[in-house]
Amino acid sequence: MGNKTSRFHFTRKPPKPKGYISNYHELLSSFKLEEKSDHDEKEHLVHFIIKELFKGNFSSPIHNILSDPNAKILDVGCGSGFWLLEMAADYSSPQYFGIDNLSTFPKSTIPSNIEFSQHNLLEGLPFPDNTFEFVHIQSVGSEFTETQWETFVYQELARVLKPGGWLEICDPEIEFSNCGPTLKQLNLTVCNCLMAINVNPQMALRHHSLIKSFPIFSNVIHDKGHMQLGNYTHKIGKIGTLTMKEYSRFAYKGPIGKIMKIDPKDINSLTDKIEIECELYKPYYFYHRVCAQKAA
């Protein structure tokens, strides 16, 4: 990984690997194959799951930042803006900024303290050095290759973070445990496809150790949330199962389904099987939240 103290001088756009597919969403093709309202609904459910697992929208010790009218907060990969909109409503003092390479952010009824720009992080964040007191990035672990994380993404996030500011990364493990046969086959195919384009499906497990390896970060905090599917005695288990069912549906409709040679007329029965298997097998995975403070 080279000299740790020199890596924060990296300014070049990272190279795309051969056969590159731009991100996890494109591989699953859900945004291209569904109505925006359906896409937003699934994204909102994932946002709800993460908030419930960690009992809040953030774990970093930033309450002083949230009461500061001069503070700036960045959400990278903000999607349809659910995290930003809640934060701006709950903590209205700071100015919030969101970027995403998809155009799903709402175009109207945006609070005055939120600004959005459509931008690809791999092109470099469109902000000066030391701009933000808090940088948040969620559910994008499989959007970048492992090399891009190691040689560019962490450094670019740190570049725009003010000294003493906090970085928070939250990602799920993509490889699940205790799957029934239908979900296991789908999950294995997704993981193999990601690895084929040099994306680590378990990148969430590496954030903690990699961030700790950068001297510019200190006070690293690692929190883990257990996502149990199929447990209908808990609301989050039911929501997680239904979300998994819908993500599976659009995976079958896209490139993954073609790789698996799925007949479109079988998709509904396959997703029904996944829902049943979630109740029978109780599959699970973990979300990981890693917080770190930039050296002052």
Per-residue pLDDT tens for 160-208? 999 999 999 999 999 999 999 999 999 999 999 999 989 999 999 999 9
- Decide if 169 contacts 140 (C-beta within 8 A): no
User: Tokens representing 161?
Assistant: 């973070």
Ranges of H-type helices in 220-296:
235-253, 255-259, 267-281
Query: In this structure, which amino acid lies at residue 52?
Result: E
Classify residue 19: in a domain, yes or no.
no
Q: How far is CA 81 from the centre of its chain?
A: 13
CATH code at position 218: 3.40.50.150
Residues of the chain with pLDDT under 50: 1-22, 29, 31, 33
pLDDT at 233: 60
Classify residue 25: in a domain, yes or no.
no
Classify residue 8: in a domain, yes or no.
no
The Cα 32–Cα 177 span in angstroms is 29
pLDDT at 26: 64
User: Tokens representing 151?
Assistant: 């040689």
Domain that holds residue 121: 34-294
Classify residue 28: in a domain, yes or no.
no
The Cα 138–Cα 284 span in angstroms is 19
**Number of domains making up the chain:** 1
The Cα 135–Cα 78 span in angstroms is 11
Q: How far is it between the farthest Cα atoms of the chain?
A: 58
Supply the angle between the helices 235-253 and 267-281 in degrees, to the nearest 10. 150
pTM of the full structure: 0.89
Classify residue 14: in a domain, yes or no.
no
Classify residue 17: in a domain, yes or no.
no
pLDDT at 4: 35
pLDDT at 78: 93
pLDDT at 21: 39
Classify residue 234: in a domain, yes or no.
yes
Classify residue 236: in a domain, yes or no.
yes
pLDDT at 18: 38
- Put residue 290 in one of left, alpha, beta given phi > 0 → left and psi -120 to 50 → alpha: beta
DSSP 14: P
The torsion angle over the Cα atoms of residues 52, 57, 61 and 62, rounded to 10 degrees, is -160
Q: What contacts 34, CB < 8 A, 6 or more positions away? A: 250
